[in-house]
Amino acid sequence: MMKTVSLEKYRSKRDFHVTPEPKGARPPRRKRLSYVVQKHMARNLHYDFRLEWNGVLLSWAVPKGPSLDPSVKRLAMHVEDHPVEYGSFEGVIPAGEYGGGTVMLWDRGTWEPEAEDADEAFRKGDLKFELHGEKLKGSWVLVRTHLGWLLIKHRDEYASKQDILKAEPRSVVSGRLLLDIARENGGDVAKAAKGDPV
Ligand code: MN
């Protein structure tokens, strides 16, 4: 691979107050990849964990939701890809429709794969990544085992014994609980309320 010399050297040789030559902007940042968790009270309560990749949201349904405790492994059922725009959906899916129930945007932000080749990491079933969410942060892994995929927090400054699901039960975009979302969108309020902490 060709070795590049830093733009610093190019710049150090020039006085940009005097010369009309371009100073050169920072290299464009790689587009940030979105991350979202949707708390979904359907037939059963679960948390849909989604990572934007190759123009879609890779998706896992996590029945017990994510845990900040690195000793806790949460089963994550790999489900079909979703469109990227799905990551901004909060509301009610009508009863009788696929996934009928109440959906809350529980967390959102961006993510970065740790491996150089994330496609390969995903294929191999060992996807390590960094989350920059409002609730979930730091290093995590989705690992495929004989039980299926597991979602696990790595040890770092964001690891904790705190039950984040109980401590932060509200929507990250609207501050609403599931029952509020159901009530305001014609959903099943009593059912939705079962997903909120008592
Ligand atoms: Mn779901």
What's the gap in Å between 47 CA and the centre of ligand 1? 7
What's the gap in Å between 18 CA and the centre of ligand 1? 60
Q: Which pLDDT belongs to residue 1?
A: 46
Q: Which pLDDT belongs to residue 23?
A: 86
Long-range contacts of 128-132 (CB under 8 A, 24+ apart): 128/154, 129/51, 131/35, 132/35
Count of residues making up the chain: 198
- The whole-angstrom separation of Cα 183 and Cα 193 is 10
What's the gap in Å between 80 CA and the centre of ligand 1? 10
Q: Which pLDDT belongs to residue 8?
A: 82
What's the gap in Å between 7 CA and the centre of ligand 1? 48
- The whole-angstrom separation of Cα 198 and Cα 186 is 22
- The whole-angstrom separation of Cα 36 and Cα 57 is 9
Q: Which pLDDT belongs to residue 167?
A: 97
What's the gap in Å between 48 CA and the centre of ligand 1? 5
Residue 17 neighbours by CB under 8 Å, 6+ apart:
none
Domain boundaries, the chain: 8-193
pLDDT in tens, the chain (198 residues): 455 667 888 888 999 888 888 888 766 556 799 999 999 999 999 999 999 999 999 999 999 999 999 999 999 999 999 999 999 999 999 999 999 999 999 999 999 999 999 999 999 999 999 999 999 999 999 999 998 999 999 999 999 999 999 999 999 999 999 999 999 999 999 999 999 998
Q: Which pLDDT belongs to residue 28?
A: 56
Q: Which pLDDT belongs to residue 162?
A: 96
Q: What is the distance of C-alpha 64 from the center of its chain?
A: 16
Its sign, for the CA torsion 109, 110, 113, 117, is: positive
- The whole-angstrom separation of Cα 8 and Cα 73 is 46
What's the gap in Å between 62 CA and the centre of ligand 1? 9
Q: Which pLDDT belongs to residue 75?
A: 98
What's the gap in Å between 21 CA and the centre of ligand 1? 54
What's the gap in Å between 96 CA and the centre of ligand 1? 14
- The whole-angstrom separation of Cα 105 and Cα 40 is 9
Q: Which pLDDT belongs to residue 27?
A: 60
Q: Which pLDDT belongs to residue 29?
A: 56
Q: Give ion ligand 1 contacts, CB < 5 A.
A: 40, 48
